[in-house]
Amino acid sequence: MKPAVRPIPRLWLAGLALAALAACSSSPDKPRPANLPPAATVLGTQQVWTAQVGASQTPVAPRATADHVFVAGAGNSVVALAAESGKEVWRLALGAPVTTGIGTDGDTVAVVTQDNDLVAMAAGQQLWRVRLGASAQTAPLVAGRRVFVLAADRSVVSFDGQTGKRLWTQTRTGEPLVLNQPGALLAVGDTLVAGLGGRLVGLNPLNGSVRWEASIANARGTNEVERLVDIVGPVSRVGNSVCARAYASAVGCVDAGSGRVTWSKSALGSQGLGGDDRLVFGSESDGRVQAWQRSNGEDAWSVDRLKHRGLTAPVALGRVIAVGDGTGLVHLLSREDGAEMARLSSDGSAIVGAPLLVGPSLVVQTRNGGVFAWRPQ
C-alpha cells in the first residue's frame, strides 16, 4: 500500500473538473427555481432561538449533540452554542478556514483546516494539532477515544484522541479524481464504515484492516468526470442498515453487520440521504424529493414542486422530513407522501448542510452565519 501522501496530480485534475462543473452551474441557461405556492400551515412551528456566528470563509455542515450545536463561524473559528438557548458557550479561532464538517463525541471536537491540519479541541481550548498528508472534506469521526479522518486521497487515518498520535493508516488506489464534498465516515457497532469510491468499506477501528466491502455503484463513463461515483454524505443509518448515495449514480443500502448489499438502484443526485426505520429520503439533482422503501428500495413517493431550488439532504423528524434550499427556506414535508406541512424562513441565504435534529428542535445554519432553531408543535 502507498503511504498517505497528497497526490498532487489527482487533486489538480479534480480542481479542473470541479471548476468545469461550477462553470456549467452558473450558465445563463441554468433552470430557474420553481415558483412556490402560498405556504401550507398544516403543522405549527415555533422559533425557539436564533444566533449569529458570522459568515465562514468556507461554509461547512454544523454538528449537534444533546447539549451543544457546533458551527464554523467568522474569523476561521469553531463556535459552540447552547442547544437549548443558542447562547454562545465558546469560540476558538484556528488560524485557517475549516474545510470539513465538525466531528464530536460530546467532549472532543475535531475539524480539518485548509492547511490540512487536523485540530482537536475541548471546552474552547485546543488539545492538539497534526498536519495531514492530504486535504479532507469529510467531518472527522470522534469515537472510542480516537479521531478518524477520511482524506481526499481516499486514505483513512486513526489518531489517539488524547495526544494526536497517529495509530494506523489504511490507503488504497482508486479513480484519478475525487469529489470536493463530504463523504461518509461513521461507526456501526464495532465497525468503522467509510465511503471509498463508490463502495462502503467496513474497517476494524483498532488496526484499519478491511472486514468487508459493499459496492453501491461502479465507475463507468468515458472520462474521469463521468466516472466519479464517490459516496457522498450524509448517510442514513438505522441499526445495521446504512443507506448511502453514490454521486450522480445510485442509492443503496448495506447491512453493516455482514457487508451485504441489501439493494442498489440508479438515482441522479449529489446530496446525501436521510431516513427512518421504514423509508429513505433523498433530494435529486433536479430538486425532486424522492422516498424509497428501506427494506427493498422500491419507490414510495416523489414530489417535484421544489425543482431547481438547490436542496440539501433531507432529515426525518417525527411525521415530517425537513429539507433546506438555496434561498434560506426550510421545507417540512409529510413523511408519508411528501405533501407540504409547513415552510420556515431564515435569513435568505442558502442553508448549509442538512438540517439538524437537536432533541425536539430542528436547527439549521445559513451561508451568512445565521443559526436558527424551530420546534414543531
Domain chopping of the chain, boundaries: 40-376
Which pLDDT score is estimated for 225?
Answer: 74
Side by side, the strands of the sheet bearing 340-345 are 315-317, 320-324, 329-334, 340-345
Which pLDDT score is estimated for 31?
Answer: 86
The pLDDT-based confidence of 219 (bands split at 50, 70, 90) is confident
pTM of the entire predicted model: 0.90
Which pLDDT score is estimated for 28?
Answer: 56
The pLDDT-based confidence of 35 (bands split at 50, 70, 90) is confident
The pLDDT-based confidence of 227 (bands split at 50, 70, 90) is confident
- Whether pLDDT at 23 is above 60: no
Q: 75-134, pLDDT tens digit by residue?
A: 999 999 999 999 999 999 999 999 999 999 999 999 999 999 999 999 999 999 999 999
- Cell (9 digits) for 284: 435529486
Determine the longest span between alpha carbons in the chain, in angstroms: 57
- Which of 190-222 are b and which e, b meaning 16 or more Cβ less than 10 Å from the residue's Cβ? ebbbbbbbbbbbbbebeebeeebebbbbebeee
- Whether pLDDT at 155 is above 60: yes
- Which of 258-285 are b and which e, b meaning 16 or more Cβ less than 10 Å from the residue's Cβ? ebebbbbeebebbbbbbbbeebbbbbbe
Mean predicted confidence (pLDDT) in 339-363: 96
- Cα of 12 vs its chain's centroid, Å: 23
Q: Among 58-62, 164-168, 240-244, 365-369, where is mean pLDDT lowest?
A: 58-62
Q: 40-376 has which fold?
A: Methylamine Dehydrogenase; Chain H (2.130.10)
What is the share, in percent, of the chain residues with pLDDT greater than 90?
80
The pLDDT-based confidence of 175 (bands split at 50, 70, 90) is low
Helix (H) or strand (E) holding 13: helix 8-25
- Whether pLDDT at 16 is above 60: no
Q: What is the mean pLDDT of the chain?
A: 90
DSSP category for residue 316? E
Rounded distance between C-alpha atoms, residue 152 and residue 169, angstroms: 13
Which pLDDT score is estimated for 37?
Answer: 86
Which pLDDT score is estimated for 7?
Answer: 37
What is the share, in percent, of the chain residues with pLDDT greater than 70?
91
- Whether pLDDT at 27 is above 80: no
- Whether pLDDT at 70 is above 80: yes
Contact in structure between 354 and 274 (CB atoms under 8 Å): yes
More confident residue, 172 or 20: 172
Mean predicted confidence (pLDDT) in 15-22: 38
Which pLDDT score is estimated for 353?
Answer: 95
Which pLDDT score is estimated for 33?
Answer: 87
Rounded distance between C-alpha atoms, residue 193 and residue 293, angstroms: 22
Strand pairing partners for 239? none
- Whether pLDDT at 162 is above 70: yes
- Whether pLDDT at 345 is above 50: yes
